[in-house]
């Protein structure tokens, strides 16, 4: 008994155009685009900033995500040290303590902190395509639980130290 021939998949008649992406240069914002929203700044915020060997560490008060004017100044200095157009990236890792039965609260607080720092970086000229945000919640490892670490990497990261 002969087995029937396997049907061949239909091939498209026209080959679709392929998109090309320039992986080095971030896309330009559209003309007339609205500026990014300002970061949440509060004169009452007790956020402190300390330089690290790879960037900056911001320490927050429990359950707070606003930035102090002093921490905004430190973020501005960090952003100014990285020249535009290079391969420098800003890795924003945010942490917050939480309860084992409710891990989502820690994630939300850490995300709020990370987005505040991201907004401050963008407001100070860092292209958003060069900022990588991670809200890690309770996974704070060896550092204080209420913090955001900004690690600057790339060929010019030594200038940001």
Q: Label residue 161 by pLDDT band (50, 70, 90).
A: very low
CA distance 22 to 19: 10
Q: Label residue 9 by pLDDT band (50, 70, 90).
A: confident
Tens of pLDDT, residue by residue over 131-155, are 999 999 988 788 899 999 999 987 6
Structural domains for the chain: 51-160 (3.30.1330.60)
Phi, psi (deg, nearest 5) at residue 48? -115, 155
Tens of pLDDT, residue by residue over 39-87, are 777 767 788 999 998 999 999 999 899 999 999 999 999 999 875 566 8
Interacting residues of 51 by C-beta distance below 8 A, sequence separation 6+: 57, 74, 161
Nearest to 58 by CA among 36, 80, 43, 73: 73
Q: Label residue 159 by pLDDT band (50, 70, 90).
A: very low
pTM: 0.71
């Amino acid at each position: 008994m002969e087995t029937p021939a396997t049907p061949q998949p239909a091939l498209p008649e026209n080959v679709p155009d392929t998109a090309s992406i320039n992986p080095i240069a971030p896309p330009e914002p559209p003309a007339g685009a609205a500026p990014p929203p300002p970061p949440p700044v509060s004169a009452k915020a007790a956020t402190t900033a300390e330089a690290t060997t790879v960037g900056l560490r911001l320490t927050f008060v429990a359950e707070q995500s606003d930035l102090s004017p002093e921490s905004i100044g430190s973020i501005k200095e960090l952003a100014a040290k990285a020249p535009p157009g290079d391969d420098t990236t800003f890795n924003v890792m945010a942490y917050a303590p939480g309860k084992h039965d409710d891990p989502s609260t820690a994630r939300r607080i850490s995300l709020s902190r990370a987005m505040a720092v991201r907004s401050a970086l963008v407001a100070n000229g860092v292209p958003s395509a060069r900022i990588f945000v991670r809200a890690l919640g309770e996974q704070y490892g060896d550092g204080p639980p209420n913090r955001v670490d900004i690690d600057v990497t790339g060929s010019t990261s030594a200038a940001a130290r």
